[in-house]
Amino acid sequence: MTARPTPPNGVLLWRGATRACAVCGRRGLTRRWVTLRDDCPRCGFHFERKPGHFTGAVGMSTIVTFGLLLLTLIVGMSIQWPDLRSGPLLAVMIPIAVVVPLIFHPTAKTLWVAIDLTMKPLEPGEAVGGPEEGSA
């Protein structure tokens, strides 16, 4: 069995960042927004390539969330300077800390799959053939 060709890195990353299957471009991979399907309905690619595969996605989600919290802290302190009050900052930062990981979680997973594919191309039998969807 021959391996399906792995798309170019730019295509992989675009598809991952837009919550599409990195291999074939299929969209609609989540259930109730946060749950990524186990396999792509079109190409059959199994997203969790090995146990613990999505640890990288958790790391990316953490980096994005903490980055937004840091940005919020810097902007909030700059606006309030020199009379710093923690209440308004917490009123903004706590919802960010709760909501951003939930919203970003599925994107982090599809993006992590794409990043993984840039480093470790498809192997024979990982995805079935078929026409790829457009350019996205």
Position 105 contacts Zn ion (CB under 5 A): no
Closer CB to Zn ion, 27 or 69, in the complex:
27
Q: Output the six-digit token pair for 88.
A: 């308004």
Two tokens, residue 96: 């960010």
Residue 111, interface with Zn ion (CB under 5 A)? Answer: no
Q: Kindly determine how many residues on this chain lie close enough to bind Zn ion according to the rule CB under 5 A.
A: 8
Please give the residues from 5 up to 64 whose contact with Zn ion meets the rule CB under 5 A: 21, 23-24, 26, 40, 42-43, 45
List residues bridging with 36 in a β-sheet: 30
Measured in Å, how far apart are the chain's first and last C-alpha atoms? 27
DSSP strand E in the chain: where?
30-31, 35-36
Summarize as ranges the residues that interact with Zn ion (CB under 5 A): 21, 23-24, 26, 40, 42-43, 45
